[in-house]
């Protein structure tokens, strides 16, 4: 059975001989029905001393809700960590006995000291790999204080350990390394979510489960390898890349399984010398997708060709919209890294907004419709910097929001974060309400 249809689409149908770079996009249409697969999760909880009290109590309560919502076809493992990592529940089906075991484990958890984030991520991703395209949800409120704490080593470990698994990181509160958690999720094909202090754990965990249930089938990975004379200038990836050194870039993501859902992955190629009129092979895109619970995988190799003429051709609005969202996300990410220089960040975000408006107008996009959420978010974050209310976790969440087309409106920090909630998180809130009204839930 075919798992995936894919094609490479240029942003501009025909380039001029004076052009030195061009955007393309891989358009991916998975063909696996969501009902055919179960969910395979590793839930990893930080139980360091800083989590003691409200945060840990709420995290355990939300985990119990998640367990309740899983079906007998789903599998779950529980990992907890302080300065040590402990597999509290080995992977098992969430039938009646499995749910009872998971609930008992959660009830007995206590807090400790230290934050061995490196080892926790490594153990969790290895478990998720054993679950065949499993997904890790890692919840933490701080920095890695135990074991390896170097950013580069943590990201490289995450990249190499993830394999077919994916990782979502949930940062709690304000005293955390948002850049690290966002980057770890990025290299492992997941996403970064930020919870305010005393935030809604049930809504966030329930939303992530809804996302996995409705729109995820393991990891979908794209690699773009440039041909001789070409190089990769940009690809949606918030972790530091070494494109100039390796000649190729990989982009991994949670792969939607809902039929007719399309994923657009933009990337930019550049070249140093002028290209003559005609067709030039510029790169090779390798797309790999696997279905969880099955050995079946599909690998597609798609050539990327640059067509050069005397005049530039028409622009593809679908590709341009994705490009604008990615560039806006990059600007937000850079602003988060430079949050201590507000004037520089305001200029950076203003330039990004201007770039988006110009690019979108050239492609004939409706700025009041197609890219209105992206532009509102850029304008809103500029306002946060000008008012002295910007912080890194918020901005990383904004960057993730733009890249995934979440809507956002102008407002205060609190309302901006609320507007960044995904449809999946809203579903999670509804699911939590159903659980709270269930008699079996009240007896726990």
Domain at 277, CATH number: 2.60.40.3670
What does residue 289 show for φ and ψ, rounded to 5 degrees? -135, 140
Q: Is residue 415 part of a domain?
A: no
Q: What is the pLDDT of residue 257?
A: 42
Q: Are residues 46 and 182 in the same domain?
A: yes
Q: What is the pLDDT of residue 123?
A: 93
Token reading at 412: 């205060």
Token reading at 349: 């975000």
Looking at 314, 333, 358, which one is the last position of a domain? 314
Q: Are residues 93 and 189 in the same domain?
A: yes
- CB burial string 289-314: b at 16+ within 10 A, e below: bbbbbbeeebebebebebbbeeebee
**Which DSSP helix (H) or strand (E) runs through 180?**
helix 178-187
Which pLDDT band holds residue 250 (cuts at 50, 70, 90)? Answer: low
Q: Are residues 382 and 237 in the same domain?
A: no
Which pLDDT band holds residue 130 (cuts at 50, 70, 90)? Answer: confident
pLDDT at residue 423 tops 60: no
Give per-residue pLDDT as tens, 141-195. 877 666 666 666 777 778 777 777 888 888 887 777 776 777 777 777 777 787 7
- When the pLDDT of each residue in the chain is averaged and rounded to a whole number, the result is 76
Per mean pLDDT, which of 76-85, 141-150, 161-170, 364-373 is the most reliable? 76-85
Q: Are residues 355 and 404 in the same domain?
A: yes
Token reading at 227: 């041909």
Q: Are residues 259 and 376 in the same domain?
A: no
More confident site: 358 or 333: 358
CA–CA distance, 7 with 305 (Å, rounded to integer): 12
Q: Are residues 182 and 282 in the same domain?
A: no
CATH of the domain at 174: 3.40.50.410
**CB of 266 closer than 8 Å to CB of 10:** no
Q: What is the pLDDT of residue 428?
A: 44
CA distances from 222 to 24, 279, 306 (A): 13, 23, 19
Give per-residue pLDDT as tens, 103-114. 999 999 988 888
Q: What is the pLDDT of residue 441?
A: 38
Cα angle 251, 233, 281 (rounded to 5 degrees) comes to 90
Please provide the size of the chain in residues. Answer: 444
Q: What is the pLDDT of residue 152?
A: 67
Q: Is residue 137 part of a domain?
A: yes
Looking at 281, 314, 347, which one is the last position of a domain? 314
Which pLDDT band holds residue 261 (cuts at 50, 70, 90)? Answer: low
Q: What is the pLDDT of residue 385?
A: 87
Per mean pLDDT, which of 226-235, 291-300, 406-415 is the most reliable? 226-235
Q: What is the pLDDT of residue 199?
A: 72
Q: Is residue 417 part of a domain?
A: no
Which pLDDT band holds residue 411 (cuts at 50, 70, 90)? Answer: very low
- The whole domain housing 71 covers 38-216+425-442
Average pLDDT over residues 375-395: 79
Residue 253 forms beta bridges with which residues? 220
Q: Are residues 229 and 308 in the same domain?
A: yes
Counting the structural domains of the chain, the total is 3
Q: Are residues 333 and 364 in the same domain?
A: yes
**Which DSSP helix (H) or strand (E) runs through 55?**
helix 54-69
Q: Are residues 192 and 99 in the same domain?
A: yes
Q: What is the pLDDT of residue 251?
A: 59
In 310-444, at which residue ranges do the beta strands (DSSP E only) sit?
none
């Amino acid at each position: 059975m075919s798992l995936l249809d894919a094609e490479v689409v240029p942003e501009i149908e025909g380039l001029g001989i004076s052009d030195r770079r061009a955007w393309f996009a891989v358009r991916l249409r998975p063909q696996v029905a969501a009902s055919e697969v179960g969910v395979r999760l590793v839930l990893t909880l930080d139980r360091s001393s800083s989590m003691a009290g409200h945060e840990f109590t709420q995290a355990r309560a939300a985990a119990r809700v998640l367990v309740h919502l899983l079906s007998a076809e789903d599998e779950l493992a529980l990992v907890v960590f302080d300065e040590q990592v402990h597999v509290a529940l080995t992977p098992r089906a969430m039938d009646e006995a499995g749910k009872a075991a998971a609930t008992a484990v959660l009830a007995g958890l206590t807090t400790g000291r230290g934050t061995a984030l490196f080892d926790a991520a490594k153990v969790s991703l290895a478990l998720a790999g054993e679950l065949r395209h499993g997904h890790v949800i890692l919840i933490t409120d701080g920095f890695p204080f135990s074991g390896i704490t170097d950013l580069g080593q943590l990201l490289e470990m995450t990249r190499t350990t993830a394999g077919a698994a994916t990782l979502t990181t949930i940062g709690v509160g304000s005293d955390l390394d948002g850049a690290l958690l966002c980057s770890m999720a990025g290299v492992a094909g997941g996403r970064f979510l930020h919870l305010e202090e005393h935030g809604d754990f049930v809504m966030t965990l329930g939303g992530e489960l809804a996302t996995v249930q409705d729109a995820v089938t393991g990891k979908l990975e794209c690699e773009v390898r440039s041909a001789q004379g070409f190089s990769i200038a940009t690809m949606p990836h918030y972790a530091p890349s070494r494109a100039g050194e390796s000649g190729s870039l990989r982009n991994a993501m949670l792969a939607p399984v809902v039929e007719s859902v399309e994923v657009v992955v933009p990337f930019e190629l550049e070249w140093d010398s002028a290209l003559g009129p005609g067709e030039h092979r510029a790169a090779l895109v390798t797309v790999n997708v696997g279905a969880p619970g099955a050995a079946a995988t599909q690998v597609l190799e798609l050539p990327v060709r640059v067509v050069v003429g005397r005049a530039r051709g028409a622009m593809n609005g679908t590709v341009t919209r994705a490009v604008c969202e990615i560039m806006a996300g990059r600007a937000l990410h850079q602003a988060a890294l430079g949050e201590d220089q507000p004037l520089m960040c305001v200029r950076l975000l203003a330039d990004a907004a201007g770039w988006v408006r110009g690019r979108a107008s050239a492609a004939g996009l409706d700025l009041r419709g197609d890219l209105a959420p992206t532009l509102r978010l850029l304008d809103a974050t500029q306002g946060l910097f000008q008012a002295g209310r910007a912080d890194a976790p918020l901005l990383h969440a904004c960057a993730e929001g733009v890249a995934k087309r979440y809507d956002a409106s102008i407002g205060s920090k609190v309302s901006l974060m609320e507007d960044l909630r995904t449809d999946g998180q809203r579903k999670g809130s509804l699911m939590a309400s159903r659980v709270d009204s269930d008699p079996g839930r009240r007896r726990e």
